[in-house]
C-alpha cells in the first residue's frame, strides 16, 4: 500500500509537558517518518507511512498523551508523500500573531524525588531537579515557543551529561527545557544544612521558591510564629503550613479522599482542612488549617533529616504587598522580617502565590487561583473578540480573551497600593505578549473608586464597558458551568457597587450574559464610617439595635449620630455585613484584622447538631432579617446555638426567595459562599426544593473570579 503523509496541528497545553518526545517515540513505534516541532500556535507534526499505522498513531496521540497535556483542538491535513526517511524534532517556529497555551508550574514528580534522595544518583540533593513531567513552567517563561532561550534558564548552558539526556529520546528529560544538575544549573546561596539548622533553632527564613519568596519557620514553635506575625504585621490571619509528607499532614488534620487528591496532585495547592487540634499561633480562632505538601525539590530537601515535620510557609511579602521575587528586593523588603536568607540564581519571571482550594461535595473548589492553575485557560464556548476585563479591587485577577480562550491571570491581590498596581501591569504585559492579545474593549466594575476601574478608564482609544459587580459574579459561574439563557443568581458577598448607588451584597438576580433584573435583595441597612465599618463589625450591629454591650457608649453615640444625619453613611444590602452584625451582637468579634474574620469565626463556632432557625420575611423585593436579629439580640442561648440557627436561617431564606422567583436553575456566587456551613445547608435544601444548583469549581467564588464574568458580559454586550 502506498504511504500517506499527514500534517497534524495540535492546540492546547502541548508545550512544556513532554509532547514532542512523546510524538517522536510514538512515530518510531509505528514505523513512521517525518518531524515534530513547537510553533507559536501549538505543536505541528508531519508523519508519513502505512495508513493503518497512521490510524493507530492518530488514536494514540490523544489516548496516550502525556499526563500534563491538554489537547483542545486537532487539525489534520493530507499531504503528498515525500519519501522522507527517519523522524526528528525540528527547531521551533515563531508564527506572527499566533499563540500557544502555556503549562502552569508543576510539582516535583515521584521519579525526580527519587533522584534527589538516592545517594547513587548524580542529582542527589540537587534542589533544581526536574524533567518533562514536572518543574517550573509559567514562572520562568519569557515568551513562546517554549524553548530554553525563551526562559530564565537561558544563561545556564547544559553540561555534557545534561545535554545527552536532553538529546536522548528514551530519556524522560528529552527536551526538558529547565533540565540541569549541580555541574551546570542554578545554585543556592548557602548550604541546605544551614537552613535546616536555623529553622530547627526557631529562626525565620526568607526562602526563594518557585513563584516568589516564602517566609518560613517551625510551625510548632509558637515563639517563632508569634515573632513572624509581629514582624510581618499580620495579627490574626491564618498562616499556611507545609507538611513534610501526606502522613505528617494526616497527623495535623482530617483528610478526605478529595483532599488527598488535591494535596498529591500535580498542582500541590494549599488545601483548607479541619485541624485535629487548635493552632492558636498559626491559625488563631480557626478550626481549619491551610496545608500543602512540598512541591519543589528544595522544599523536599528542607525536610530531609530535619527534626520538624511542619513549617509555616507564608508569602514573602509585607502585609498587602505582592510576593517578592527579586533577590535584591527581598533583602530590602524582607530584611526586617527574616533572620536569614536562602536564595538562588534562577530568576523568577512571573511571580505566583500559592493557590488555595477547599473540598465540597467530593470536588476541589478553588478559592485562590495562582501557582499550578495559571495561566491555564477556560473555554468561553465560542470565539469572541479580544477583550480585557480588569476585575475588582480585592483579591484582584484580570482576564484576557483570545478566540475561545478566557485567560485568567494569577492572583494579583488587593489593588490598594502602588506595588500591587505594578504587579498587575507587569502581569498584563506578559500575558498579552504570551497570548498575542491586543484588546479591542475593556470591561470594568461600576465602582468609580476602584483602582482597577480608574486604570481601565484611563486607557485611551478603547471602548469601556461597565459591569455591575454581582452580575459579573453570576455570569462567571454561568460561564464556568457552560450555561446559556437565564438563571436565578444568588450573589452574596461583602460589597459591590449597585446600579442605584447603594452598596449591594445580598442579591437575587435573574441573569443572563446580556443583562439582569434584580428580583430581590437583603433589606438595606445603614453602614456608617466607610472602610471603618468593615474593620469594626459593631457598626453593622448598630443598624439593628440601639445599644451594644462591649463597645464604649461614646463610640456608639458618634455612629448613631452619623446614621441620623447621613454623614459618611451608605445603605447596604451586604450579606457580609449581616454576618458582621451577628458576630458583634453575640460578643464574638467587635473588630477584625482581615477580610471576613467575623464571618469565619461565626461559622467556626456553629453547632452542627442544631436544626432550628429564626424568623425572616420576604416582602416584595426585600428579604428582611430583622426578626432574626431581634431574636438573637434577646437570646440567652449559647453562642454556638445562635450561630448555627443564624446559618440555617440564611439558607432557608435563600431557598424561599428562589422559590418565589421560580426559575429552575440557581447559581451561587460571591465570597459568602466560601462558608462551608452555609453552603452545606443551602445546596441540599435547594435541590430538595427541585432546583438544579451550580457552583464555582475552577475559579474562585470571591472577587478573584469576577473578571471572568466581566469578560463574558462584555463579549455579549460590546458595541462591535
What would the grid cell of residue 452 be? 482597577
Name the pLDDT band for 685 (thresholds 50, 70, 90). Answer: very high
| pLDDT score recorded for residue 254 | 97
Q: What are phi and psi of 233, to 5 degrees?
A: 60, 50
Q: What is the pLDDT of residues 178-222, one digit of tens each?
A: 999 999 999 999 999 999 999 999 999 999 999 999 999 999 999
Binning pLDDT at 50, 70 and 90, where does residue 12 land? confident
Q: Which domains does the chain have, with CATH numbers?
A: 4-89 (3.30.70.100), 192-358 (3.90.870.10), 369-467+704-717 (3.30.420.360), 487-701 (3.30.420.40)
Indicate the angle between helix axes 575-585 and 597-605, nearest 10 degrees: 60
Least trusted range by pLDDT, from 163-172, 380-389, 647-656, 676-685: 163-172
Question: Other CB atoms closer than 10 Å to residue 191's CB: what's the count?
Answer: 11
Strands 622-624 and 464-467: unpaired
Pairing label, strands 387-389, 622-624: unpaired
What is the pLDDT confidence band of residue 99, given thresholds at 50, 70 and 90?
confident
State how far the Cα of 53 lies from the Cα of 3, in Å rounded to an integer: 10
Stretch 415-420: mean pLDDT, rounded? 92
Q: What is the mean pLDDT of the chain?
A: 95
Strand partners, 466: 444
Average pLDDT, stretch 501-514? 97
- HEC states along 566-625? CCCEEEECCHHHHHHHHHHHCCCCCCCCCCCHHHHHHHHHCCCCCCCCCCCEEECCEEEC
Q: Are strands 42-49 and 4-13 parallel, antiparallel or unpaired?
A: antiparallel
Task: Check whether 659 has a pLDDT greater than 90.
Answer: yes
Task: State the cell numbers at 650.
Answer: 440564611
Contacts of 357 (CB under 8 A, 6+ apart): 262, 269, 270, 271, 272, 364, 365, 366, 367
Average pLDDT over residues 172-180: 92
Q: Find out whether the peptide bond into 296 is cis, omega within 30 degrees of 0.
A: no
Backbone angles phi, psi at 123, to 5 degrees: -100, 15
Convert 388-430 into a string of H (helix), E (strand) and C (coil). Answer: EECCCCCCECCEEEEEEEEEECCCCECCCCHHHHHHHHHHHHH
**pLDDT band at residue 92 using 50, 70 and 90 as cut-offs:** confident
Which of 385, 190, 359, 207 lies closest to 291 in space, CA to CA?
Answer: 359
Give the three cell numbers for residue 440: 479591542
- DSSP structural state of residue 523: P
Between 1-10, 112-121, 212-221, the lowest mean confidence (pLDDT) is in: 1-10
Residue 138: pLDDT over 80: yes
pLDDT above 70 covers what percent of the chain? 100
Average pLDDT over residues 388-410: 97
490 or 144: which leads in pLDDT: 490
pLDDT of residue 319: 76
Confidence of residue 68 (pLDDT cuts 50, 70, 90): confident
pLDDT for residue 38: 86
pLDDT over 80 (residue 40): no
Question: Mean per-residue pLDDT for 309-315?
Answer: 98
In the predicted structure, residue 389 carries a pLDDT above the cut 80: yes
- The CA–CA distances, whole Å, from 118 to 123, 125, 137, 247, 300 equal 8, 8, 25, 21, 13
pLDDT at 719: 72
Residues 152, 93: Cα–Cα separation, whole Å = 20
Rounded distance between C-alpha atoms, residue 201 and residue 616, angstroms = 55
The pLDDT assigned to 85 comes to 92
Predicted confidence band at 720 (pLDDT cuts at 50, 70, 90)? low
> Between these two residues, 679 and 68, which has the higher pLDDT value?
679
pLDDT digits (tens, 9 = 90+) for 532-580: 889 999 999 999 999 998 999 999 999 999 999 999 999 999 999 999 9
Give the three-state DSSP class for 423.
helix
Q: Cβ distance 463 to 719 under 8 Å?
A: yes
* Structure confidence at residue 286 as a pLDDT band (50, 70, 90): very high
Amino acid at each position: 500500500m502506498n504511504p500517506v503523509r499527514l500534517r497534524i496541528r495540535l492546540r492546547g497545553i502541548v508545550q512544556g509537558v513532554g509532547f514532542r518526545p512523546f510524538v517522536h517515540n510514538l512515530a518510531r513505534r509505528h514505523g513512521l517518518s517525518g518531524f515534530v516541532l513547537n510553533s507559536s500556535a501549538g505543536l505541528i507534526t508531519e508523519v508519513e507511512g502505512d495508513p493503518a499505522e497512521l490510524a493507530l498513531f492518530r488514536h494514540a496521540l490523544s489516548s496516550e498523551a502525556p499526563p500534563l497535556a491538554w489537547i483542545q483542538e486537532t487539525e489534520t491535513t493530507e499531504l503528498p508523500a515525500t519519501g522522507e526517511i527517519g523522524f526528528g524534532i525540528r527547531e521551533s517556529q515563531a508564527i506572527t500573531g499566533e499563540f500557544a497555551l502555556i503549562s502552569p508550574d508543576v510539582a516535583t514528580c515521584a521519579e525526580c524525588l527519587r533522584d534527589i534522595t538516592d545517594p547513587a544518583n548524580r542529582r542527589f540533593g540537587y534542589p533544581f531537579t526536574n524533567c518533562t513531567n514536572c518543574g517550573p513552567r509559567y514562572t520562568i517563561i519569557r515568551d513562546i515557543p517554549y524553548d530554553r532561550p525563551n526562559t530564565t534558564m537561558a544563561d545556564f548552558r547544559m553540561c555534557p551529561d545534561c545535554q545527552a539526556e536532553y538529546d536522548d529520546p528514551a530519556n524522560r528529560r528529552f527536551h526538558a527545557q529547565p533540565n540541569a544538575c549541580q555541574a551546570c544549573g542554578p545554585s543556592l546561596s548557602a548550604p541546605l544544612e544551614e537552613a535546616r539548622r536555623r529553622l530547627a533553632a526557631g529562626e525565620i527564613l526568607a526562602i526563594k521558591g518557585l513563584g516568589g519568596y516564602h517566609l518560613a519557620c517551625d510551625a510548632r514553635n509558637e515563639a517563632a510564629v508569634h515573632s513572624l506575625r509581629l514582624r510581618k504585621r499580620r495579627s490574626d490571619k491564618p498562616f499556611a503550613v507545609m507538611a513534610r509528607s501526606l502522613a505528617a499532614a494526616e497527623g495535623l488534620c482530617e483528610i478526605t479522599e478529595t483532599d488527598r487528591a488535591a494535596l498529591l496532585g500535580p498542582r500541590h495547592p494549599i488545601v483548607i482542612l479541619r485541624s485535629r487540634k487548635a493552632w492558636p499561633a498559626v491559625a488563631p480562632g480557626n478550626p481549619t488549617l491551610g496545608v500543602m505538601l512540598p512541591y519543589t525539590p528544595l522544599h523536599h530537601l528542607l525536610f530531609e533529616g530535619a527534626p520538624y515535620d511542619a513549617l509555616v510557609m507564608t508569602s514573602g511579602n509585607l502585609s498587602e504587598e505582592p510576593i517578592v521575587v527579586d533577590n535584591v528586593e527581598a533583602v530590602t523588603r524582607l530584611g526586617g522580617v527574616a533572620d536569614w536568607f536562602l536564595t538562588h540564581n534562577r530568576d523568577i519571571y512571573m511571580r505566583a502565590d500559592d493557590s488555595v482550594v477547599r473540598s465540597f461535595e467530593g470536588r476541589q473548589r478553588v478559592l485562590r487561583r495562582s501557582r499550578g492553575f495559571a495561566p491555564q485557560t477556560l473555554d468561553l464556548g465560542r470565539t469572541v473578540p479580544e477583550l480585557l476585563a480588569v476585575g475588582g479591587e480585592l483579591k484582584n485577577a484580570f482576564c484576557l480573551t483570545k478566540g475561545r480562550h478566557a485567560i485568567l491571570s494569577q492572583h494579583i491581590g488587593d489593588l490598594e497600593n502602588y506595588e500591587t498596581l505594578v504587579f498587575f501591569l507587569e502581569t498584563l504585559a506578559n500575558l498579552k505578549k504570551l497570548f498575542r492579545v491586543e484588546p479591542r474593549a475593556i470591561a470594568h466594575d461600576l465602582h468609580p473608586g476602584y483602582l482597577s476601574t480608574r486604570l481601565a478608564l484611563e486607557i485611551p482609544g478603547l471602548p469601556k464597558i461597565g459591569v455591575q459587580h454581582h452580575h459579573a459574579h453570576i455570569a462567571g459561574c454561568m460561564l464556568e458551568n457552560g450555561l446559556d439563557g437565564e438563571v436565578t443568581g444568588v450573589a452574596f458577598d461583602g460589597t459591590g457597587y449597585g446600579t442605584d448607588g447603594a452598596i449591594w451584597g445580598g442579591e437575587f438576580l435573574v441573569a443572563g450574559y446580556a443583562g439582569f433584573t434584580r428580583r430581590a435583595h437583603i433589606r438595606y441597612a445603614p453602614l456608617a464610617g466607610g472602610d471603618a465599618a468593615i474593620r469594626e463589625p459593631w457598626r453593622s450591629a448598630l443598624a439593628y439595635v440601639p445599644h451594644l454591650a462591649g463597645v464604649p457608649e461614646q463610640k456608639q453615640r458618634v455612629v448613631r449620630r452619623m446614621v441620623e444625619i447621613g454623614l459618611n453613611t451608605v445603605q447596604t444590602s451586604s450579606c457580609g455585613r449581616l454576618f458582621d452584625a451577628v458576630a458583634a451582637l453575640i460578643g464574638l468579634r467587635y473588630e477584625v484584622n482581615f477580610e471576613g474574620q467575623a464571618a469565619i469565626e461565626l461559622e467556626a463556632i456553629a453547632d452542627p447538631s442544631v436544626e432550628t432557625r429564626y424568623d425572616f420575611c420576604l416582602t416584595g423585593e426585600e428579604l428582611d432579617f430583622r426578626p432574626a436579629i431581634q431574636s438573637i439580640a434577646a437570646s440567652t442561648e449559647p453562642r454556638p446555638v445562635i450561630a448555627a440557627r443564624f446559618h440555617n436561617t440564611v439558607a432557608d431564606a435563600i431557598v424561599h426567595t428562589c422559590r418565589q422567583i421560580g426559575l429552575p436553575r440557581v447559581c451561587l456566587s460571591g465570597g459568602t459562599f466560601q462558608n462551608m456551613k452555609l453552603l452545606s445547608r443551602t445546596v441540599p435544601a435547594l435541590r430538595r426544593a427541585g432546583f438544579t444548583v451550580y457552583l464555582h469549581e475552577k475559579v474562585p467564588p470571591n472577587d478573584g473570579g469576577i473578571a471572568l464574568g466581566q469578560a463574558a458580559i462584555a463579549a455579549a454586550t460590546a458595541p462591535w
